[in-house]
Amino acid sequence: MHTTQINPTTASRLISGLQQIPDNWALTPVTDNKRPYRQDWQQETALTRQTLIQELQSDKAKGYGIRTGEVSGGILAIDVDGHAAEARLQNLSDGGLPDTVIFSSGKAGRRQLLYLVTEDYWHVVKTVKLKTGVKGDDGKEQLLEFRWNGLQSVLPPSVHPETGSYHWVRSPQDIEVANCPNWVIELMLNQQQSVPVPQPCLLPVLTTVSTRPPLSIFLGREDRDLVEHGTGDGGRNSAAQKLSLNLIATARRLQELGIDYDGDPRALYDQFCYHCTPPLGSDVRGESEGWWKNADTHAKQPSLDDEKLQGCYTAWLNKQKGTHSQNRLTVQKSIVSTDNSLLSVPPLTIERISRQDSQSIVSVVSGILASNLDDVEESFKLDLLCTELGINQKIFDRIVARERVKLDEVLPEDEMRLKSLIEWRNNKIDWDSILPAPLARDLIHDADVLNVDPVVICQPLISAVASLAGTTINLDMQSHKIPSVLWTVTVLESGGGKTRADSLVVAPLRKMQAEAVQRYKDADNDYKRALKQWEKGGGEGDEPEPPALRKYLFEVATIQAVLKRSAENADNGALWARDEIAGLFNSLGQFSKGEDESLQILLKLWDAAALCVDRTSLTDSYFAERTAVSVTGGIQPGVFRKIFKDADDNNGLQARMLFAVPQRRKQRYIEGFCQLSDRLPLLYKWLEQLPEINVKISPQAKAYYKKLVEVIGDQIEQTTHAAIRNWMSKLTTQVLRIALNLHLIECFYSPNSRDITTLQKDTLERAVKLAQYYRSAFHVLQEKVSNSDEISSILLQIYERALQTPDGVSARDIYRPLDSIKSRAKAAGREVSAYTQDLFLKLQSMGYGEIVRKGRSVKFVALNIENVEKPFTTTDNTDNEEKQISKALDSEPTNVSDSHCQSLTVSTDNNVLHVDHLNVNVISSTKDIAEDKSISLLQVEKSGGEISSFVGCQVQVRSLSGNIKYEGELTKYDPANGFIVVATADRECTAHVREAFVIG
């Protein structure tokens, strides 16, 4: 056989090819003959991409295959092994092959198609191989194979022994994997029935009305479902034992109660056996008969008690008479009779009822669910309704599950929480109340020039200031000293402008580093000459000391190099700046003891702790009595969880970071000169020349800080989110570190009005305000990157993902990367795709976007809520009268200044986490709200007034700081939860009464 050989696919090409393959596909490495080589590869946990890359780099792997089946999220591969197999596929499909992902080895007539099997069928379908009777060029029979669990299909661009490599016909980048056609599922189910089982013989259906109720209506829901649908392999025997006992016990009890029924319990049991997969008794003869004989001896108690059996009978009688109660539906039914009475009421499907009827059914179901019944009574009423209507059980269960999601899945407090999280995007920091006026002005100006959020510049700036203060400036708290060390991380997508901002701030440090290197070279030359002279003189006198390189800046460096240089610069600090902070953490593995030990050493650097490193050679050993390494860098949201892998942050790595989540600005062309290019070199030089200073804290600032610590301590105890709890445990220290560096900046800009040796209370207050931003930013970040199954977190992630895709996101785009949404869908009894669409509907009803339908395609398109930027507020939605620090500070002899921080409160885990720092009134409107004629609905509620009497009036909804969010007509009031609905010019909005003021 003639074959054409081409060069094997290189490792780099294979690694590059991974970018086209979805992350949730489980891959296994293969050799150049297409075979997997890892032991127990069918059972092992799905490999990470990093592990797979290591296999490819080892030169053993020549490609990779997708593990079909459940492990890859339900991917089925149809392997067409030649022209005969293709002809059989076309014959089976009869044109029913949806367009999908396709790849080929390049051999004639060979291709593979991938389809997505819904989770409902995962446990019942199995691999099927169909013979064609035609042999190919290799002498082997051409097969048509439907691959499921335990198999793999080699993917492009893996090596193929004959054609060179596989190639994509339609790659996952070109098209989504289509849903598996129904005929394929049926084919895979039918092929499993190894022993033919006679189908229960049904006599022709008669059109006479049955005078006796069918036995099936007296069974519980689970038993009826078993009769209609059977069960899968692995659960057949236990189901047969349970059903046979219930059938016989129910029939006997009905006879004892004098209720005459139609049908035979054994006929229902045979129906169950036939519907099992595979049919019970098809693989082990006599198995089904054994369970029935056993039940005939031991059956005692039916699944329904006497009251429910009588209720079923009464409902059937009412239906026969046509006298329905007020809450029941009138639906056309044809009551028919068969010889075994299995279907005395034929299933009522969606196709057999009008839209009006289906809406009526939904309305009744919703009414039952909204009645707040106990679970037993609710189940009984739903069971009775389903039986009376004759609806297919699966359809009815889907209706119930959907309506339950509508009623219970997203509560009013979840809506308010989501609202505050989304609106947080439009908040901004009031830089004039935090920084000296000249610096605030330059920061805002340069941010406009660079087209970035000002916080993107502030992040590296405060770390740079801290690094120059280094080990020489500390805040003396008597019991301990607070070092000048800050670690800042900016979370922003690629292309957001972080590199431009970093260059502005770090450029003067680079220049200072270049000058230091030149000084070092000159000093080193002098040292070498002096050393030669000393050696020529026979070593008399003191040996010359070698110079040390002053390090201002680390960029690309290992942790070992940073430690070494820090020991040589014990009297100075340094900045470790990485454009992508991921590179810093990736470098940790280069340390000789591995990543874990390196990480522990890195954590000690934040504490500015002494470090002692011993090596075999004394020249390679060093000791640093003091360290002061500040860190700054950026990270993309999608990379966050890959770097900070521990969601609970047990090692405290995230807790040491000050994260900023800036708003990405729309790309535009701007010209201008950055003012900080001139200012920062002067600031850095001034910091460099400062002598060693122990800054004291003033008595007023200390009293203020003491109460701050107490309140934050109380809030830590109330916090259930592990990562936020760990972050808050270091919040008080972070506040002092921020305050120390703000103090130094203030002393530079106001040398005559500031005593550099004393930290004042107003500076501490400004630090608290900046810490407030970091606190809320960290909380929002956790919501965006976490796998929390909190519904508000899931809704936020749907909204954020949709914002990034102008054409909208499909249900599959959402649930594939979010395990939390899958678990909630399962708990709600909904198929994950339908559940995701339920959440789309909820977001649409809340005004955050719209659902776009095109054929069967359903997408959610997010509305970018571009409110006017407002002064920074928190993500909390609770009453700020609770536990405010401002109240605790009322006893202070010194009044709180206007620069005080607003209360920092955040909700998580359905509990309110208050870190209510300081009270502030920041009102941006031209008129003081306290002086207007509006009526507070909160005051109306507290005074016992009727808020509902204001329905139809114009109201304003205001933030806690007094800003007007929106206004419109009050259309609805919910007294149970304290919420109102306001109709604005473009949408309906939900708000709490405490936010609302009647204006006319």
Q: What is the mean pLDDT of each run of 10 residues along the chain (1000 residues)?
A: 42 86 93 89 90 86 93 94 86 83 89 91 87 82 92 93 88 90 83 44 36 83 85 81 90 84 85 83 68 82 83 72 40 31 38 53 81 80 82 83 81 76 75 93 92 94 94 89 93 85 93 93 92 86 88 86 81 88 71 60 82 71 80 86 80 91 81 90 93 93 92 84 88 95 94 90 93 87 72 86 87 85 86 89 87 84 64 40 36 29 33 33 32 75 81 82 80 79 83 82
- Measured CA distances, 738 to 428, 605, 687, 735 (Å): 19, 17, 16, 5
Reported as a single tens digit per residue, the pLDDT across 27-45 is: 999 998 889 999 889 999 9
The pLDDT, as a whole number, for residue 326 is 36
d(C-alpha 821, C-alpha 812), whole Å: 11
Scored b (16 or more CB within 10 A) or e, 162-179 reads: ebbbbebebbbeeebbeb
Q: Please, what sign has the CA dihedral across residues 900, 902, 905, 906?
A: negative
At position 566, the amino acid (one-letter code) is: S
d(C-alpha 600, C-alpha 492), whole Å: 27
- Measured CA distances, 3 to 82, 135, 187, 553, 568 (Å): 16, 18, 35, 59, 65
**Residue 215 per-residue DSSP state:** G
The pLDDT, as a whole number, for residue 747 is 93
Asked if 970 and 911 touch (Cβ cutoff 8 Å), the reply is no
d(C-alpha 847, C-alpha 572), whole Å: 54
d(C-alpha 277, C-alpha 931), whole Å: 75
d(C-alpha 620, C-alpha 79), whole Å: 60
pTM above 0.85, yes or no: no
Structure tokens given for 675? 């003012």
The residues near 503 (Cβ < 8 Å, ≥ 6 apart) are none
Placement of tokens 């610096």 in the chain: 439
Which residues sit opposite 954 in a β-bridge?
969
d(C-alpha 656, C-alpha 603), whole Å: 8
The residues near 719 (Cβ < 8 Å, ≥ 6 apart) are 725, 728, 908, 911, 913
Cis omega (within 30 of 0) on the bond before 196? Answer: no
d(C-alpha 120, C-alpha 182), whole Å: 12
Q: Looking at the chain, how many residues does it have?
A: 1000
Degrees to nearest 5, angle at CA 10 with 7 and 16: 135
d(C-alpha 144, C-alpha 82), whole Å: 8
The pLDDT, as a whole number, for residue 739 is 96
For residue 281, the Cα-to-chain-centroid distance in whole angstroms is 46
Scored b (16 or more CB within 10 A) or e, 746-776 reads: bbbeeeeebebeebbbbbbbbbbbbbbbbbb
The residues near 621 (Cβ < 8 Å, ≥ 6 apart) are 613, 614, 615
Q: Look at residues 638, 637, 655 and name the one whose alpha carbon lies nearest to residue 646.
A: 655
Which residues sit opposite 489 in a β-bridge?
633, 659
Structure tokens given for 838? 């339920």
Q: What is the DSSP string of 459-470?
A: HHHHHHHHHHHT
The pLDDT, as a whole number, for residue 422 is 77
Q: Look at residues 666, 658, 659 and name the one whose alpha carbon lies nearest to residue 491.
A: 659
Placement of tokens 């059109």 in the chain: 207
The pLDDT, as a whole number, for residue 900 is 28
Reported as a single tens digit per residue, the pLDDT across 595-619 is: 567 778 788 888 887 777 777 666 6
The pLDDT, as a whole number, for residue 203 is 34
Asked if 484 and 706 touch (Cβ cutoff 8 Å), the reply is no
The pLDDT, as a whole number, for residue 822 is 86
**HSE, side-chain direction, 13 A CA sphere, residue 351:** 1
Q: What is the DSSP string of 716-758?
A: HHH---HHHHHHHHTHHHHHHHHHHHHHHHHHHH-TTT--TTE
Instruction: Considering only the C-alpha atoms of the chain, give the largest distance between any 2 of them, rounded to a whole number of Å.
Output: 127
State the DSSP H helix or E strand holding residue 168, giving kind and residue range, or none if neither. strand 167-170
How many helical (H) and strand (E) elements, i.e. helices and strands, does the chain have? 31, 36
